[in-house]
Amino acid sequence: MFGPEDFQKAANVSRETLEKFKIYAALLSKWQNKINLIGPATREDVWQRHFLDSAQLLPLVQKAKPAKGPLTWMDIGSGAGFPGLVLALLGEKVVLVEPSAKRAAFLRQVIRETGVNAEIIQEKIEEIRPFPVDIVTARALANIGQLLAWGTPFLKAGGEFWLLKGARAEEELTSARKNWIMSEELFPSRTGPAGTVVRLTEIGMAGPARKGKEE
């Protein structure tokens, strides 16, 4: 079974950071008994299926998008904190968007007990006044076209989407191209053969969609 030490090695985290992840894992187990945060089948594999799956984004982004200063992330539909809270524990500046009061309460407790620097917005993404971010991310929330509609208004110039997707990533991209122009790059997931990390850059609305919006 993939455990804390395996995660530490795979994600290259310090002992201090690992201790914070252990607090996170304990709280996740405790709260899972009260509210549905993760799928029951993945409960015994939190360190790989959830923590490493989320953490794999950071080295990919660091390699693809070298930054002079800290990047600002927005994680749409954070739920149990994947990938946003994991990225915050790894030192990134992350805004967690989670409309559910119960899930937001869980996120607040993890933030409080680990001392991580993360902000929670407890609202639906479509009801939030846009603010500038470098990267929009999401996991197991909606199809790519919908995520683009929600997240694009928040992107700074040169901003990107980094999405954790499953086996239907190509199908979702095909559908999204009907309304969106974008450059795409796909990476195989480190945590399962069906998983895909999707990077989207140079994003704009396609002709008919742009015209409709302008009208």
Contacts 24+ apart (CB under 8 A), 182-186: 182/148, 185/64
Domain limits at 55? 4-214
CATH number of the domain that 186 lies in?
3.40.50.150
For 134: left if phi > 0, alpha if psi spans -120 to 50, otherwise beta; the answer is: alpha
Q: Tens place of pLDDT for every residue, the chain, 215 residues?
A: 899 999 999 999 999 999 999 999 999 999 998 898 998 878 889 999 999 999 999 999 999 987 778 899 999 999 999 999 999 999 999 999 999 999 999 999 999 999 999 999 999 999 999 999 999 999 989 999 999 999 999 999 999 999 999 999 999 999 999 999 999 999 999 998 889 999 999 999 986 545 444 44
Query: How far apart, in whole angstroms, are the C-alpha atoms of residue 137 and residue 134?
Result: 10
Query: How far apart, in whole angstroms, are the C-alpha atoms of residue 155 and residue 149?
Result: 11
Query: Which residues neighbour 33 within 8 Å (Cβ) at sequence distance 6 or greater?
Result: none
* Residue 25 amino acid letter: A
**pLDDT tens digit sequence for 59-73:** 999 999 877 788 999
Model-wide pTM > 0.75: yes
Residue with tokens 């095909």: 174
Count structural domains, the chain.
1
For 101: left if phi > 0, alpha if psi spans -120 to 50, otherwise beta; the answer is: alpha
**pLDDT tens digit sequence for 58-114:** 999 999 987 778 899 999 999 999 999 999 999 999 999 999 999 999 999 999 999
Coil, strand or helix at 199:
strand
